[in-house]
Every structure is written in C-alpha cells, then in structure tokens.
Structure 1
Amino acid sequence: MKKAMSLLTATAMAATLLAGCGGGTASSSAAPAADSTSTEASSTAAEPAADAAAEEGKVLNIWCWNDEFQSRFNDYYPGVKAIAADKSTTTLDNGVTVKWTINPNDNNNYQNKLDEALLKQDSAAADDKIDIFLIEADYALKYVDSEYTLDVKKDVGLTDDDLKDQYQYTKDIVTVDGVQKGTTWQATPGLFAYRRSIAEDVLGTDDPTEVQAALSDWDKFNDVAEKAATKGYKMLSGYDDSYRTFSNNVSAGWVDGTTVKVDPNIMNWVDQTKTYTDNGYNNKTSLWSDQWAADQGPAGKVFGFFYSTWGINFTLLGNSLATPESEGGKQEVGNGIFGDYAVCQGPQPYYWGGTWICAAAGTDNIPTIKDVMYSLTCDADIMTKITEDTQDYTNCKSAMDSIAADPNFGSAFLGGQNHIALFAEVAPTIDMSNAGPYDQGCNETFQSCFKDYFDGTVDLETAKKNFEDQIKVKYPELSSVEWPA
C-alpha cells in the first residue's frame, strides 16, 4: 500500500486514537498520521546522523510491548554498564541512559500508545523523544511505510556488508521501495512440535525422520489425525493451530486494489479445520487460551503444535512443566513432560512472528542506535552466544549453520535433538513476497469470523458474509471481497 494510503490526516488519526477505536482498527490499518510539520521533520530526519557524533543525546528511549528485547539488550549488548534494580533504566558505558517504556499489546494497546507518542514526536523535548521502537511482523508495513522510521543504511549507517549474513526475508519484511527501515536479531521459521510418547503410540516411532515422513504433506497429516483419534488423541488443540502454515503459503496477498481476495489455501484451512472439529480431531481451543496451554502440558493428549523458534523454547517449554519455574520447578526430565517433545518440518514450510528494531525519526542517538543494531543483529559471535544460551534462532546464517552442524549441540527439552538444524533448512525458504499492510487485520478477522462456522452455530455462507461485513468496517477503503471458485 502506498504512503498516500497509509498516512491519514493528523487530526483524524488523533481523534480516532482518543476515541479508543474498538479492536484497534486505526492502529491496524495505518501509521500515525503526518501533520503539517511532519514533512518538514522527515526532510530533516537524517540531520541527526550528521551531527550526532558531535553531540549525542544522553537519554535513549526504547519502546516495546514485553521484556524480551529488554532482556536481550541487558544480557548481550556489550555497552551495558549498569541495570536499575527495577529494570526501568539501563546505563551504558558511553554515558547514555536507556529508558524503557513497556506497554503490553492487549487489544492493540501498544500500537495505540505508540501512535499517540509518534504524533507528538516533533514537539517533544529531546530527552522525551522515542529513539528506538519495536514492531512485529504482522503490522511491520504500517510503520516502515511511513515517515516515522529511519533508513537503517542511509540514516543509521549500517552497510550491506554489515547485513549480508542475515536471512533475506527478515530484511524484505521491513523494506519499502528498496529502503530498509528495521533490523532484527531473530529469524522465526516454523516447525511441528510433537509429543514423542504419543507419536510412539500412534505411529510406532518417535524418530523425527520417520515422523516427518508420516506428516510430510497435508493428506498424510490428515491420515495421522484419523489414526490418532482412534487412540484417544487430538491431532491439534484448536482452530488456529495450523492457520499460519496455510496462510504463509498463499499465491497472492490479501488485497488487490480495493478488493479483498481470499486465497484458495485459506479456504483449505477452513475445510480442514471444519473436518477436524466435526470429527473430534481437535479440542476446539483458541490460541493463548487456558485450555490450549493446558493441552501442551502433562495432562494434554494432543499429538502436536505448530510453533516457530520463540514458541518452542519459551511458550511450549513453560507449558510442559508440572511445576513452573516461578514455583521452584526446574527445566529437567521428570518435571512434567520435559523431554517428551521433538520437532519435524511438518507438511509445509512457514514462519511465525518476529520482532524488529526501528530507529525513530527525530532521534538524537544515532551513534548508539547504530551500535545497538550492529551488535544485536549483525555480530556473529553475539548471535551465536544468544542461541547457545537461550536456544532461540538468531538472524545470522553462518552462526546458525555452524550450530546446525555441531554434533554436540542439542535441546534437552527436545530429548537432545538439534532443532537448529531443522530451522536452518526452513529459514532460507521463507518468502515474504505476498506480505501486505492488511495482513494483520485480514488474518485476525478471518479466523474470528469462521469460529462460529466450526462450532456449527452459523453456516458457511453466513461466516463468509460476516467476514465481508467486518473487513469493510475495519478498512472502509476496501470495496469488495472475492472468494475462490
């Protein structure tokens, strides 16, 4: 979507923000609007790059929605000198104080607060301006296709050589008209995480190679779902589990001109999920619900879950423990089903999520931002260390290939399996060519509208009509919806 579509008037956006538009409609569809002074601000956005070396600001304001990046920063950025007891600030060895603003993203709260702050960026005092803010894949284009983010090369100073070892898709997703507006420390290819004990019961093996052979396409996957049901297991927990595997493999983006075009592969998800629901192959849960989390734990009877890098070593691992770490439990065999999971590639390659670092226009901390971006997204030694310590998959091809080939590397949670080797095969295949600015709103609305159909409270045509009505409310500029024949 062109900038003319994404930049509304400041007055209209401010009114929308103050009204707290339901479901974050404004924040899902457009970047915070440029006012009459923002063009001037953007035209001088590169000026700090020229002057910052002489006089850099003493406060670096970083905005994010949870403490993931804060922990990566505090643990791995070489410039960290001291961390406040409450973690509200981090002192750097160059004299700069990092101030952390963390707004949870419930109901688009993070985006709404960020939009309000960016609208005031021009008039804010230097120490109050946002310098770095984090964005997610689902709404990345909203910010990178705006004047509120700086070019990481021209304005910040990273070079092609600095960025050469990063996965291409992680650069493509934050690039508009050839200009890269963010960078990330992580790549997020997806795999299928399955219970070894259940696979042994259903398939007679828990070996990842043999399980992959049994799940290598959707027809085989569905056959295993039927077999699992005869043994008293669910193949998936709920409606949404397989959605991103289908939605990442569409033939075109959601919107063509002003028409929403529902891809046939999205309807394949609808068909599969309806069958699974009617036949008892899933547990009728939704992502992040209590039952969905419980299905991943000791009492769960679900064959497996589609998860990307962060999900396996954070969410799935935590849910697998009978005694949580917060209650003194340890990450070890014997605590719940720790060690009973393994991973395979599953029926199709996909990715899920990711967090990008953006430099905000108007910052007076270009030298520090450049060093942060380089150290935490380009330095191979730091990327290797993050993966070795946390088992997260970092955005450095040479580092990940090296760990993938290491016979001594393995995940205790996954029974000793080197999951990095599988991620390293998937990551280069990720294609962002069909990504667009309407992805978040269309994906979320579509899944929501079809849950009633899966439950049998509405028929298929009503579910389609509900999607058409809701998407036109969310995006008034879209005029029609086309469905595959």
Structure 2
Amino acid sequence: MKKRITKLMALLLTTSMLVPMTACSTSKKSASDEHVLNIWCWNDEFQSRFNDYYPEVKKVSKDKSKTYLKDGTVVKWTINENKDNNYQNKLDEALQEQDEKDDNDKIDIFLIEADYALKYVNSSSTLDVVKDIGLTKKDLGDQYKYTKDIVTSKGVQKATSWQATPGLFAYRRTIAKQVLGTDDPKQVQEALGDWNKFNEVAGKAKTAGYQMLSGYDDSFRVYSNNVKQPWVKGDTVTVDENIMNWVKQTKEFTDKGYNNKTSLWSDAWSKDQGPDGKVFGFFYSTWGINFTLMKNSLANPDGKAEVGNGAYGDWAVCEGPAPYYWGGTWLCAAKGTDDKKEIKNIMLKLTCDKENMKKMTENPDIQDYTNTQSGMEEIAQDPKFSSSFLGGQNHVALFSESAKKIDMSNTSKYDQGCNEKIQTAMKDYFDGKVSLDKAKKNFETSIKEVYPNIKKVKWPKD
C-alpha cells in the first residue's frame, strides 16, 4: 500500500511539473505564430508597387524582406533572380512540395512573365481568379483584353496584372533632326510607318554617321508579335515567315553597318543608349522606356534624373512600323494557399482599382502604364500629363493606341524556348560564321533538346 501511494505521488509530481512547461511552450508558440503570406518574384518591381500602393500596408522591414499589413499578416518576400531560368527552377521545385508544407510556408502568390505564362496557366499549380479567388467579370472589365487573353486557357483566367506593356519606338531627338530634319513624333512616325520606310531611313542614318539599331535582337519582338501562327502545333515547330523577315532584315543591317552588332542587355547595347550613343532608336515597351532606357541615358547614373544629365530629355517615342508588346508581369494565386481572401483584395486593389493604378502612372518617378483602359484614356487626354524624359511628350497617348492593336491569339507555351533559340542560332549567321542553312540546322537541334516532344521543324516554303 505504501509503495502504491509513493508511485501515485510521483505521478502527480511529474504531472504538476509538466503543466507549467506545457503552458510555457504554448505561450511561446503563440508569440511567434505569425500569419504569413508568401510572395515569390524575380526582382523588386512588384514588391515596390505593393509596398507603395497596397492600402493595407502598415510598415516594411528595414531589409524589405517583410511587409506588415494592418490586420497582422506578415508578407514574406522570396526573390530569386531570373537568370538561366533560376527563378522558374526554384519556383517549380517549391510548387512540387506545396502539399507537404505548413500553411505559413506555402507559396500564396507567385509572379510570371509573358514568355512562359502558359506553362503555369495550363498547370494545376494556379487557381482560377474568378471561380477560386472571387474576382468578377465586372472587376476585370476595364483591363486590356490581351492581358487577360495571355493568361486564359479554355475560358479560365489564371492570373491578373497591374500593367499593360505595349511597345513603341524610342528615338534620339538630336539624331532624328540630323537624319530626317525633324524630331516631331508625328513626322518621325510618318517616316517610319512600315518596314520598307524604316529600312530606308536606316540607310539615311548610316550616311549621316549613325546606326539605325544597336544590335541583332532589337527588332525581334516587333516581328515575333506579328506572326500568323503559333510556334508549335502537335509535334511540329513552324517558323513563321515574319520570323524569317526579321532574319533577312537583321542580316542586311549587320552587313551594311546599319546596326552596332550588339546583343540585348550587353554592356555595349546599354552604352548605345547613353549620351555618347550613335544609335537612332530602340524598340521598347512601357517599362523599358521608363526604367531601362532612362537609366542608361544618364551620364551620371547616381545623379538626379533630369535634363542636363546625359541624354535625359533628348528622347521621344512614336508607334514605329508595327504594333507589339514586350514583357509584363502577372500575379498567380498558388494552389494550396489559405489566403484567398487576402489575395482577392490584393488583386482588386493593385490590378482592378482604376484610381489606385492611375496614381502609379501619374507618379513622375514611375509612370508605369497600368492595366486600366479608361484610366489610361483619361491620362492620354490630360494636357497636364507629360514625361520630362521624353522632352515633354505625353507617351501614354501613344501607348493607349498601340495597346488596342495587340493580338495574342498565336501565343503558345513554347514561346520562350523558340524565341530564345532562334535568336541564338541566327547570331552566328549574322556574324558570318555559318551559312543560313547551318544556322537553321543548329536551331532544329537546339529546339529538340529543349522540347523532346518536337519531331519536326518546318520552315517557310518547305
């Protein structure tokens, strides 16, 4: 009996000791149990738009890795640079592990680009922004049609964007005066209104001591956005005639010295946009003009962006020989998220709220072309709106016209690989290292390596 009482006392003592330990453990868990919303992207562009324009933001951490919302939610940013497909590779790996993660570790929102949008739109990793997230057709009604078409498959829209990215031709005013005798956008557009006119002006530019374009890739997007068929049907890659028109033009420009033999994003290409550049102009979309071109135009990148700093103010834009778009960023809601309500609010405020998006466009430090048709029409007609970088021009007026002409009907999930590989294969041809037939063979080999399901490549007139 004494032994039984002793065991009972020992059990009670052990239990009494565990109670405060358990309470302490529970308290510690509650204190650190933040509600986390995970957003994945490849740079800080959307992060800055979110922090500056999402009305629910309370504060941002010093290192910007976290954004704290008014309701207590902590937005955690994961940014993986999109070099050599690094962003997509890490994103794909994380999405495959989504079901195994705790709610606070799951991806809630991730961003995608146009070139590989359909890869995720056609996957089970993304949610329907209408049926699953709760956006209505009325909410999305003011957005540009092409920005919805590009992320829609079988009638289901899987993403939404705060920006539209129609393209224009940006040119140096001083060079235009030397070559054409005018820098007036309407007169320059008349001179460059189709490819035959554009090529003719390239010859005049050369005679005057300038190059029409910087490198091999500059006009590619304008041609590739105006193809008559998608890259792939079944197991066959079909190279559109318009792609070969780009090859023909670029070879001619290279041989005649109408370009500077640079490659997109290279140091030489960026330098051609600077104050000492001798290039007539560059094909750029909205983000490219307001950020890349402007930054490259400065003599002192760390100085104030204003007239007097390099070529700032010596640029203008016209529509160019054909309508096109370049780039764009879309928000996807990841399957498995437990934050549908918050995601809906983010999508509403940042991609559907006309007044909020107009603020982004009207901000002189941003002037992003936002995804509100009526909002951009209002700014296009606003006599007070202008870009000091573009010499006082209202570029939104031209962008709004270009955006109406964008056709995304031939987009496919193979766009990124085909676009990249055709440019790579043709570069050796432009440089005179291989024949055109050899360049074609090299493209066929490389595209079948990227997409093993491809059995045949069909060229125009085959």
User: Are the aligned partners of 2:232 and 2:238 in contact in 1 as well (CA < 8 Å)?
Assistant: yes
The equivalent of 1:440 in structure 2 is 416
Counterpart mapping for 1:213-252 below 5 A: 213-252=190-229
SS of residue paired to 1:277: helix
Paired amino acid for 2:343:
I
Q: Distance in 1 between matches of 2:159 and 2:233?
A: 26
The equivalent of 1:22 in structure 2 is none
CA drift of 1:95 comes to 1.1
Aligned equivalent of 1:257, options 234, 241, 261: 234
Matched, 1:471 2:447: yes
Paired amino acid for 1:471:
I
User: Are the aligned partners of 1:57 and 1:126 in contact in 2 as well (CA < 8 Å)?
Assistant: no
The Cα offsets for residues 48-72 of structure 1, whole Å up to 9 and x where unpaired, read as xxxxxxxx98110000000000000
Paired amino acid for 1:259:
T
Matched, 1:392 2:368: yes
Matched, 1:100 2:77: yes
Counterpart mapping for 1:405-416 below 5 A: 405-416=381-392
Counterpart mapping for 1:174-213 below 5 A: 174-213=151-190
The Cα offsets for residues 159-196 of structure 1, whole Å up to 9 and x where unpaired, read as 00000000000000110110000000000000000000
Residue-pair matches, total: 427
Counterpart mapping for 1:1-12 below 5 A: none
SS of residue paired to 1:456: coil
User: Are the aligned partners of 2:142 and 2:372 in contact in 1 as well (CA < 8 Å)?
Assistant: yes
Counterpart mapping for 1:346-365 below 5 A: 346-365=320-339
Identify if the C-alpha distance between structure 1 residues 166 and 110 changes in structure 2 by more than 3 Å, giving closer, same or farther: same
TM superposition score normalised by structure 1? 0.88
Aligned equivalent of 1:453, options 429, 432, 456: 429
Q: Distance in 2 between matches of 1:334 and 1:359?
A: 44
SS of residue paired to 2:204: helix
SS of residue paired to 2:99: coil
Structure exhibiting the larger radius of gyration computed from Cα positions: 2
User: Are the aligned partners of 1:188 and 1:308 in contact in 2 as well (CA < 8 Å)?
Assistant: yes
Note the residue ranges of structure 2 that are not aligned, 5 or more in a row.
1-32
User: Are the aligned partners of 1:247 and 1:266 in contact in 2 as well (CA < 8 Å)?
Assistant: yes
The equivalent of 2:66 in structure 1 is 89
User: Are the aligned partners of 2:37 and 2:339 in contact in 1 as well (CA < 8 Å)?
Assistant: yes
Q: Distance in 2 between matches of 1:57 and 1:401?
A: 42
SS of residue paired to 1:260: strand
The Cα offsets for residues 404-446 of structure 1, whole Å up to 9 and x where unpaired, read as 0001110000000000000000111111100001000000000
Aligned equivalent of 2:86, options 92, 103, 109: 109
Q: Distance in 2 between matches of 1:139 and 1:112?
A: 12
CA drift of 1:116 comes to 0.5
- Superposed CA RMSD in Å reads 0.9
User: Are the aligned partners of 1:57 and 1:365 in contact in 2 as well (CA < 8 Å)?
Assistant: no
SS of residue paired to 1:317: helix
TM superposition score normalised by structure 2? 0.92
After superposing on structure 2, the runs of 4+ consecutive aligned residues of structure 1 that deviate more than 4 Å are none
Aligned equivalent of 2:283, options 306, 309, 331: 306
The equivalent of 1:273 in structure 2 is 250
Aligned equivalent of 1:294, options 263, 271, 285: 271
Paired amino acid for 1:184:
S
The equivalent of 2:140 in structure 1 is 163
Q: Distance in 2 between matches of 1:293 and 1:129?
A: 38
SS of residue paired to 2:428: helix
SS of residue paired to 1:131: strand
Aligned equivalent of 1:139, options 96, 100, 116: 116
CA drift of 1:331 comes to 1.1
Aligned equivalent of 2:348, options 371, 374, 391: 374
SS of residue paired to 2:40: strand
Q: Distance in 2 between matches of 1:219 and 1:450?
A: 22
The Cα offsets for residues 207-233 of structure 1, whole Å up to 9 and x where unpaired, read as 000000000000000000000000110
The equivalent of 2:30 in structure 1 is none
Paired amino acid for 2:316:
A
Paired amino acid for 1:225:
A
Aligned equivalent of 1:418, options 384, 390, 394: 394
User: Are the aligned partners of 1:202 and 1:228 in contact in 2 as well (CA < 8 Å)?
Assistant: yes
The equivalent of 1:79 in structure 2 is 56
The equivalent of 2:403 in structure 1 is 427
SS of residue paired to 1:336: coil
User: Are the aligned partners of 1:61 and 1:100 in contact in 2 as well (CA < 8 Å)?
Assistant: yes
Aligned equivalent of 1:331, options 305, 312, 317: 305
User: Are the aligned partners of 2:34 and 2:74 in contact in 1 as well (CA < 8 Å)?
Assistant: no
The equivalent of 2:460 in structure 1 is 484
Q: Distance in 2 between matches of 1:411 and 1:377?
A: 23
Q: Distance in 2 between matches of 1:142 and 1:381?
A: 32
Q: Distance in 1 between matches of 2:380 and 2:34?
A: 41
CA drift of 1:259 comes to 0.6
CA drift of 1:124 comes to 0.6
Paired amino acid for 1:355:
T
The equivalent of 2:42 in structure 1 is 65
Percent of aligned pairs with the same amino acid: 69
CA drift of 1:125 comes to 1.0
Q: Distance in 2 between matches of 1:335 and 1:357?
A: 36
Q: Distance in 2 between matches of 1:391 and 1:88?
A: 25
The equivalent of 2:12 in structure 1 is none
Q: Distance in 2 between matches of 1:65 and 1:323?
A: 27
Paired amino acid for 2:175:
I
Paired amino acid for 2:346:
V
Q: Distance in 1 between matches of 2:140 and 2:293?
A: 31
